[in-house]
Amino acid sequence: MITPRLGVNIDHVATIRNARGENYPSPLRAAILAQKFGADSITIHLREDRRHIKEEDLKEIKKKLKIPLNLEIAPTNEMLRISLKYKPTFVCIVPEKRMEITTEGGLNLKKKYFLIKKIINHLKKKKIRTSLFIEPNLNDVKIAKKIGADCIEIHTGKICNLLNHKKNIKKEFKKIQKSVNFAKFIGLEVHLGHGITFHSAKLLSKIQGINEYNIGHFLIGESIFIGIKESINKFKKILKK
């Protein structure tokens, strides 16, 4: 059995900062504290519209962080250029739509096949670990392998949402479980991310073989009430089971 790593996404510290246009609360401070309190990596999403993290945050965090930095990017040439400039430890490619509140689904791997393949090839040459954010379906897992990614991150938004609204999660749970098993079988690392709360983490932790969880919105929100140390500790405890 493996103990999954916890990646802490600190985008929403930047969201609060940006709401006032001030220089606080500091995403760098949040990253350093999360590192101190047991995060295995820090995730930031440099969106094309820069609504959370800015390029300056990426530069500072990359310089000061000792644990791996996981940069989420849209599959574009601009984001490839930025990734090659700052060389984060990991890159996770995610889809982006301008009007969405958050990342609404997985990548369309068929449509973006050649662009994603090009991005992965460039990143691999710089020894950056590559991951693709996908929906839990076997076809996308197969394409992710073929395209050359090291890992997949399965979008858990749907199951977390069903759970939040006390709806039946059986079908979605099975889909995730099947995708995880198949991905492991063909030699991909498997991560889960999006919408995860203490409650959904408990459910998802029943799936064997997950290497990494990337958690942001709930973890940062909960930090307001119980502190970032306790919020990280609680997730780590749940995910260890």
Residues that bind ligand PXP (CB under 6 A): 9, 11, 45, 72, 92, 94, 102-103, 133, 153, 193-196, 214-218
At position 40, the amino acid (one-letter code) is D
| Closest by CA position to 45, among listed 77, 99, 93, 1 | 93
Letter string b/e over residues 138-157, b meaning 16 or more CB atoms within 10 A of that residue's CB? eebbebbbebebbbbbbbbb
State in Å, rounded, how far the first CA of the chain is from the last one: 10
Q: Is 72 an annotated catalytic residue?
A: yes
Q: What is the smallest separation between the CB atom of 11 and ligand PXP, expressed in angstroms?
A: 6
Q: What is the smallest separation between the CB atom of 121 and ligand PXP, expressed in angstroms?
A: 21
1/169 with CB nearer ligand PXP: 169
Of 72, 96, 135, 222, which one is the catalytic site residue? 72
Question: Within a 10 A sphere around the Cβ of 102, how many other Cβ atoms?
Answer: 11
Of 45, 52, 155, 191, which one is the catalytic site residue? 45
Q: Is 194 an annotated catalytic residue?
A: yes
Helices (H), the chain: 11-20, 27-36, 55-64, 77-86, 113-125, 138-147, 157-164, 170-185, 198-204, 217-226, 228-240
65/71 with CB nearer ligand PXP: 71
Q: What is the smallest separation between the CB atom of 133 and ligand PXP, expressed in angstroms?
A: 4
Q: What is the smallest separation between the CB atom of 99 and ligand PXP, expressed in angstroms?
A: 16
Q: What is the smallest separation between the CB atom of 155 and ligand PXP, expressed in angstroms?
A: 7
Of 12, 96, 194, 222, which one is the catalytic site residue? 194
Sign of CA dihedral 30, 33, 35, 39: negative
65/73 with CB nearer ligand PXP: 73
The answer to whether the beta carbons of residues 124 and 163 sit under 8 Å apart is: no
The answer to whether the beta carbons of residues 64 and 95 sit under 8 Å apart is: no
90/182 with CB nearer ligand PXP: 90
Torsion region of 133: left, alpha or beta (phi above 0 gives left; psi -120 to 50 gives alpha) = beta
Q: Is 56 an annotated catalytic residue?
A: no
How many Å apart are CA 38 and CA 5, to the nearest integer? 10
The answer to whether the beta carbons of residues 69 and 41 sit under 8 Å apart is: yes
35/214 with CB nearer ligand PXP: 214
Catalytic residues: 45, 72, 194
